[in-house]
Structure formats: structure tokens, C-alpha cells
Amino acid sequence: MIAAAEVEEDDVLCVRACGRNLAVFHIDGDYHVTDDRCTHEEASLSDGYLQDDTIECPRHQGVFHVPSGKPMAAPVTQPLRVYPARVEDGQVWADIP
């Protein structure tokens, strides 16, 4: 999907895969893959503010817990979809149903 080295520590990149935009996070040595679109309205979370293991939406400042997708701060109420991620041969992969 994307080379692990392309996603710097404590950073997030948007990747187009399987017909959707995904956010690939690199946090504390682990990789996480979620939908890139905020569950509140139209906004790209990869343009948001990553702090520790939370991402703040750039549009209305809603906050999600990245590893679980749990909404942490209004106005977001719906969880973010999280896909199981792994690194193989230097590439980040996610199980997209």
C-alpha cells in the first residue's frame, strides 16, 4: 500500500487504495490505518493535527483516538473506521473488507 519509510514517526499520510482514501499513521513505532474522511462532515483527517495517539479534525476540531477510532471530542460522535494494519517487506498493508 505504502512504503513504511514514507510515513515518518508521529505523522500521517493519505493513501488512495481499494477505491477509498485511507489515513496511514505512524505512532510510537506502530502503524495504524483508518478512513481518511472524518465521520462528522467532509474533511481529510490526514490534514489534521496528530497529538500522541489522537487526531484532531482540521475542519471543526473533533478528535478521534487513532488505534480504536473512538470519538474523543465533539462534534464527532461516530467512530472512525480502523483497519488492521501490518508491515511486511517494508510496506504497510491493511485488511480492507
Q: Binding residues for ligand FES, per CB under 6 A?
A: 38, 40-41, 43, 57, 59-60, 62, 75-76
CB of 40 to ligand FES, least distance (A): 3
Q: Are 45 and 37 in contact (CB under 8 A)?
A: yes
In the complex with ligand FES, which residue's Cβ is closer, 60 or 81? 60
CA geometry: angle 73, 79, 84, nearest 5 deg: 125
CB of 75 to ligand FES, least distance (A): 5
Q: Are 12 and 55 in contact (CB under 8 A)?
A: yes
